[in-house]
Amino acid sequence: MEEYEKEEARPRLIDFIGEALADSPAMSADGLDEAIIGVGYRCGQPNLLVYDVDEVIALLMKRDDMDYTEAQEFFDHNIGGAWVGPGTPVWLEKLT
């Protein structure tokens, strides 16, 4: 998807997320909204925000001037490895 298409689709995604998480304890990760790719759900469990790990790492590299290894380690230890309760986001690593 081209960058301009992502920008145009973003408001629709935000509206969808707001509706899907209305009664959920879902938590967001500060400063990483651009990496949100959707809402995850399981039967009998609250809906949660889903983030693209590659996008999170790219944001860390750009925002915090990290190289790839630094951003990966920071993500592993401080973001992906952090349990903040039942609303903890889902971190998706794409296979392709």
Q: What would the pLDDT profile of 10-52 be if each residue is shown by its tens digit?
A: 666 666 676 667 777 888 898 999 999 988 988 998 889 999 9
Return d(Cα 96, Cα 82) in angstroms, integer. 25
Q: What pLDDT was estimated at residue 46?
A: 86
Dihedral pair phi/psi, residue 3, rounded to 5°: -60, -45
What sign for the dihedral angle of Cα 16, 82, 95, 70?
positive
What does the pLDDT look like over 41-88, one tens digit per residue?
Answer: 889 988 899 999 999 999 999 999 999 999 999 999 999 999 999 889
Residue 23's pLDDT is 74
